Structure 1
Amino acid sequence: MDFTTRCIHGAANNTHTTGAVSVPIYQSATFAHPGIGQSSGYDYSRLQNPTREHLEKIIANLEEGVDAIAFSTGMAAITALMELFSIGDHIIASEDLYGGTVRLFDNINKKNGLLFDYLDTSDLSKLRGLIRKETKAIYIETPTNPMMQVTDIQAVAALAKEYNLLVIVDNTFLTPYFQRPLTLGADIVIHSGTKYLSGHNDTLAGFLVTGRTDLSEKLRYIYKTTGACLSPFDSWLLIRGIKTLAIRMERQEENAKKVAAFLNSHEKVKKVYFIGLETHPGYEISKKQASGFGSMISIEVDTEATAKQVLERVNLILFAESLGGTETLMTYPMVQTHADVPIEDRLARGINDRLLRMSVGLENTEDLIEDLKQALS
């Protein structure tokens, strides 16, 4: 079945008999038992809810995994994931991660005894050099947020297999429409469902997806114990959003290519980070492991004053955090998404006061370019 069709019909709807085309919202915290020792299959919504279960089956199907677990936020998903590890365990992570992930690792997980090293995970020789007996996992974003570094998932998975390490991939930027890390050897995939999967900037969600039954069992136990489950209504919003995932991703990528080309030719834009540009160092790897480039663009402008001017002058484009929705958003990473990353680390990674990040939406491309032209003038 084609991916587009699976977005709409990817999980058989066996949760009701009314014939409703839209999956019902089972807004119930608890479910009655038919008798002692008997269950309808649903007992308490922290464990499972019919609406959420339907969503999880769709996501597992799209990522080609055996299980997907829906959380209240992307950070809740990553927080639960870290409970797989014990005091003294070592994790190697991409150096250019979403700032909230770095904040969790450095301020919560380190306090609880986990050890982290950060590096450009596209450099396999350096990655191998950091592996030690305490190492348990390699955690990557590809492309990264906000510098758009690309890591060869298949190569990292082959390296990890030598040392019996987990490979964890945050696939938020490309979604399973463009990239399916489990098929490339990853063990666990992460999504901020708030972003492209939802697609409408109207709800928060997170997912962990795995192709391994042993990991599914461990994660399900952590999930029911820690309790950050996605609500029935938010699950329904995600189901609705995913129905248009394929067509949104195609249009947003098409828009992003045109916007990136315009920005790449503007005198005040000194660098464009978009993996769809042939000059991007990760372009060939992206073509190998993904079927598209997505719609995330970061740019470095000539001065801090220009960066602030753009943020204050854009009209159609919204100066707001988040990404992946129908509206085009622009973010200032150094004071928003990465504000809690130490300044020396931010600057070393290129996250300076001239860097802007764009999530290109579904608007008419010429309208977006006109807005950027006047904001940069």
Structure 2
Amino acid sequence: MSEPLDKLTRAIRIRADKTIEHEHSTPLYLTSSFTFDTAESMRAAFAEETDDNIYSRYSNPTVDEFVDKMCMLEGAEAGFATSSGMAAVFASMFALLQQGDHLLCCSSVFGSTFTMVTKYLPKYGITCTLVPAADTAAWEAAVQPNTKMIYLETPTNPQLEIIDLEWTGKFAAQHRLILNVDNCFATPLLQRPMEYGAHLVVHSATKWIDGQGRVMGGVVVGNAGLVHEIYLFCRNTGPSLSPFNAWVLSKSLETLDVRMQRHCENAMQVAETLQDHPAISWVKYPFLKGHPQYDIAIRQMSAGGGVLCFELKGGLDAGRKFLDNLQMLSVTPNLGDSRSIASHPASTTHFKLTEEQRLTVGITPGLIRISVGLEKVSDIVNDIIQALNA
């Protein structure tokens, strides 16, 4: 018997069933609904006695192929794909939390996630405590009798703090909490949270999974029982991924390995080069030895990822001027693209937060986030250096 295929090979070879045309490339099922031969077969599908497709808001072969690949890469039992990354985050919480429940969330999270857990969850009677990402004592102290879920990012956005997944997995098991991990920055190629005890893993597939800034999408994978509740929630509330976007994302997974290798190599070189620049107070990248959680990063990640950040000495004004001086890097509110991207969170994604709130989530005035692309690394470095010097 031949050896089982590696997961990277399977990310290329897994596909929806071929049609009678025997096509080589995955077909795209652009249909809103599916037909049945008999009333009984339709009844059985609605009763979930069969796995027949009914309606593309519920399931679709193209979407299922993308989900199957993500489950395989993450080592998950089941999954559901959503229209955006934030839809995945939203569904992973609202499908499982109810009035009276308490959520633990790391304080350094994506701006929209911060707004959701601090502004919208309380409207439904769900309380949240924000905890400094790397402070294990604070996590322990924040547990309440009604705590039901832990939500975290690692590396965090945009401060690139690293949370010890081995410790967190044991912590969640000890307190019988659902561990929900945003693995967007690392991708399943660099880090697999379920191996450390995570019950759910969410992704903004808009980022590295697509990798070329073309479509939006999200996915939640994990424990089959939990994912089924998320599926039922999304089936009735509607944040499903479109078949076309699923087709693009599924094809993108075929190149994820080679792309991430280049992103990580480029990011490491950029981070090393910028460390001694006089306009910069500090540079943070998970695989730089000076990173506060370097030892944890190299233990749970196979590479440092494609994002780095640094602090400009001139604060807010310096951040804006830096963006204006760039000649090649894109200035856009995204990351995970083949093109390198620079952003200044304090004046963009986290602008509506108060200064105190920004500092709570690690957004300092001169913080610059760089999503390192696939360009020649010397061109990336040269553009950043000339913008700093200008």
Is the TM value for this pair above 0.5? Answer: yes
After superposition, give the CA deviation of every residue in 1:68-127 in whole Å (9 maximum; x if it has no partner): 211000111111122211111111111100001011112211111110111123222221
CA contact under 8 A between 2:309 and 2:367: conserved in structure 1?
yes
TM-score w.r.t. length of structure 1: 0.97
Question: Structure 2 matches for 1:128-167, cutoff 5 A?
Answer: 128-167=140-179
Q: Flag the 1:162–1:318 CA change in 2: closer, same or farther, 3 A.
A: same
Matched with 1:17 is: 20
Structure 1 SS opposite 2:39: coil
CA contact under 8 A between 1:268 and 1:376: conserved in structure 2?
yes
CA contact under 8 A between 2:329 and 2:340: conserved in structure 1?
yes
Counterpart AA for 1:277: L
Counterpart AA for 1:276: F
CA contact under 8 A between 2:98 and 2:126: conserved in structure 1?
yes
Q: Which of 203, 216, 232 is residue 204 of structure 1 equivalent to? A: 216
> Is 2:58 aligned against 1:47?
yes
How many Å apart are 1:316 and its aligned residue?
A: 1.1
TM-score w.r.t. length of structure 2: 0.93
CA contact under 8 A between 1:15 and 1:50: conserved in structure 2?
no
> Is 2:242 aligned against 1:238?
no
How many Å apart are 1:343 and its aligned residue?
A: 2.1
Structure 1 SS opposite 2:26: coil
CA contact under 8 A between 2:205 and 2:249: conserved in structure 1?
yes
Matched with 1:2 is: 6
After superposition, give the CA deviation of every residue in 1:215-249 in whole Å (9 maximum; x if it has no partner): 12211111211111000110011011111101111
Q: Flag the 1:67–1:15 CA change in 2: closer, same or farther, 3 A.
A: farther
Percent identity over paired residues: 32
CA contact under 8 A between 2:201 and 2:221: conserved in structure 1?
yes
After superposition, give the CA deviation of every residue in 1:162-220 in whole Å (9 maximum; x if it has no partner): 1110111000000000001011110000100000001110111011110x221122111
After superposition, give the CA deviation of every residue in 1:27-84 in whole Å (9 maximum; x if it has no partner): 1001111111215811111110111011110111110101121100011111112221
> Is 2:255 aligned against 1:252?
no
Counterpart AA for 1:59: M
Matched with 2:37 is: 34
Question: Structure 2 matches for 1:210-225, cutoff 5 A?
Answer: 210=222, 212-225=223-236
For the aligned residue pairs, the C-alpha RMSD in angstroms reads 1.3
Matched with 1:268 is: 279
CA contact under 8 A between 1:3 and 1:177: conserved in structure 2?
no
CA contact under 8 A between 1:89 and 1:134: conserved in structure 2?
yes
After superposition, give the CA deviation of every residue in 1:282-331 in whole Å (9 maximum; x if it has no partner): 11111111111101111101103332221001111011111001010011
Matched with 2:45 is: none
Counterpart AA for 2:288: L
CA distance in 2, matches of 1:117, 1:198: 32
How many Å apart are 1:349 and its aligned residue?
A: 4.2
Counterpart AA for 2:6: D
How many Å apart are 1:341 and its aligned residue?
A: 3.0
CA contact under 8 A between 1:191 and 1:208: conserved in structure 2?
yes
How many Å apart are 1:350 and its aligned residue?
A: 3.8
Q: Flag the 1:15–1:107 CA change in 2: closer, same or farther, 3 A.
A: farther
Structure 2 SS opposite 1:217: helix
Q: Flag the 1:76–1:199 CA change in 2: closer, same or farther, 3 A.
A: same
Structure 1 SS opposite 2:22: coil
CA distance in 1, matches of 2:7, 2:281: 38
CA contact under 8 A between 2:15 and 2:26: conserved in structure 1?
no
Structure 2 SS opposite 1:129: helix
Counterpart AA for 1:171: N
CA contact under 8 A between 1:148 and 1:273: conserved in structure 2?
yes
Matched with 1:362 is: 374
Q: Flag the 1:336–1:17 CA change in 2: closer, same or farther, 3 A.
A: farther
Q: Which of 64, 74, 79 is residue 90 of structure 2 equivalent to? A: 79
Q: Flag the 1:15–1:105 CA change in 2: closer, same or farther, 3 A.
A: farther
Matched with 2:68 is: 57
Matched with 2:197 is: 185
Q: Which runs of 4+ in 1 moved over 6 A?
A: none
How many Å apart are 1:348 and its aligned residue?
A: 4.0
> Is 2:106 aligned against 1:94?
yes
CA distance in 2, matches of 1:165, 1:5: 34
CA distance in 1, matches of 2:8, 2:376: 23
CA contact under 8 A between 1:3 and 1:246: conserved in structure 2?
no
CA distance in 1, matches of 2:275, 2:171: 36
